[in-house]
Amino acid sequence: MCVMSLFPVAQAYHGSPDGTKRDVASPGANHSYSIIVNTTLRAAVIGYGRFGRFWAEWIAGEFTVQVASRRTLAGLPAGIRQVTLEEAATADLVFLTVPISAVRDTLQRLAPYLGPRTTVVDTCSVKVYPVTEMERILPADAGIIACHPMFGPDSALTRTDLLPVIIWPVRDRHQRYHGLREVFGRLRMRIVEMTPEEHDREAAFTQGITHLIGRLLAEMELQPSEIATLGYRRLLQVMEQTCNDPVQLFQDLQRYNGHTREMRRQFAQALERTARLLSDETLD
């Protein structure tokens, strides 16, 4: 786990509790120098479902990664170790990769054990709800960063461009925000800074509608076809990719984002207008 990290000193880098050793190679200003760390920051990933597993491996080159799960995990990748929730709670960065609907309970279990220099970073597909809960439940000295990687196990492999990630420094007590942005930059991500409220509005009308359409097509049980048009093949891809994610993600996206109700209202209205294009015919 010896990797090169780029954390600007100006961001008051504190080192990690496990004794990170650093050499400042060149003390210039404006991110123009690098710091060699023998041991990287410790990052704990809480929840080891489909996304958690992907995320733990995705960031493994940049942090010493630990994972916490209620289940006993077998066959973890080399260098990734399972720890208790108590131990995970003292990491430099605690990434929450539990389902949105499990965030509150997880925070309540995590809060009593949280290290004094720990920053909690959620990765939920909605932002206002988990941010509100983190601010309410976590101790005052906990750092809080909101984060939503707009990609997952499927699209990370398929996309060839930079992968968008939304990030917002809710309460950057331990100055991890800028370092995290740099790490993400190295991990093929394109940083988009957006408030939780802005995120939820935009995500409802992008990711939210996509999952709605994907589930709808799956319910229709669409099949591959020898005569598939290009457009139909794209719909099948949307269906397959969406339904690789657990149905709980779909449900949570629709329930915990205050804007998806409006998205679904507009969807229903658009359906009516579309039906009207067929004049005397209706869609049911």
Q: Taking the complex as a whole, how short is the minimal distance between the CB of residue 274 and a second copy, in angstroms?
A: 5
Q: Does 210 bind a second copy (CB under 8 A)?
A: yes
Could you say whether residue 162 binds a second copy (CB under 8 A)? Answer: no
d(CA 68, CA 57): 14
Site size toward a second copy (CB under 8 A) is 65
How far apart CA 94 and CA 114 sit, in angstroms, is 9
Q: In 3D, which of 219, 211, 265, 240 has the Cα closest to residue 100?
A: 211
- Evaluate whether 122 touches 147 at the Cβ level (below 8 Å): yes
Of residues 159, 174, 189, 197, which one binds a second copy by CB under 8 A? Answer: 159
Burial code (b: 16+ CB inside 10 Å, e: under 16) for 1-14 equals eeeebebbeebebe
- Of 245, 248, 47, nearest in space to 151 by CA: 245
Report the nearest approach of a second copy to the CB of residue 34 (Å). Answer: 29
* Positions 211 through 270 that interact with a second copy (CB under 8 A): 211-217, 219-220, 222-223, 225-232, 234-235, 237-238, 241-242, 247, 250-251, 254-255, 261, 264-270
Instruction: From 41-49, 53-61, 110-118, 191-199, give the range in contact with a second copy by CB under 8 A.
Output: 191-199
Give the interface segment with a second copy, choosing from 28-36, 84-92, 113-121, 153-161 (CB under 8 A): 153-161
Crossing angle between the packed helical segments 103-110 and 128-137, to the nearest 10 degrees: 20
Pairing of strands 22-24, 35-37: antiparallel
**Which residues are near a second copy by CB under 8 A?**
150-151, 154-155, 158-159, 164, 166, 192, 194, 199, 202-203, 205-207, 209-217, 219-220, 222-223, 225-232, 234-235, 237-238, 241-242, 247, 250-251, 254-255, 261, 264-271, 273-274, 277-279, 281, 283-284
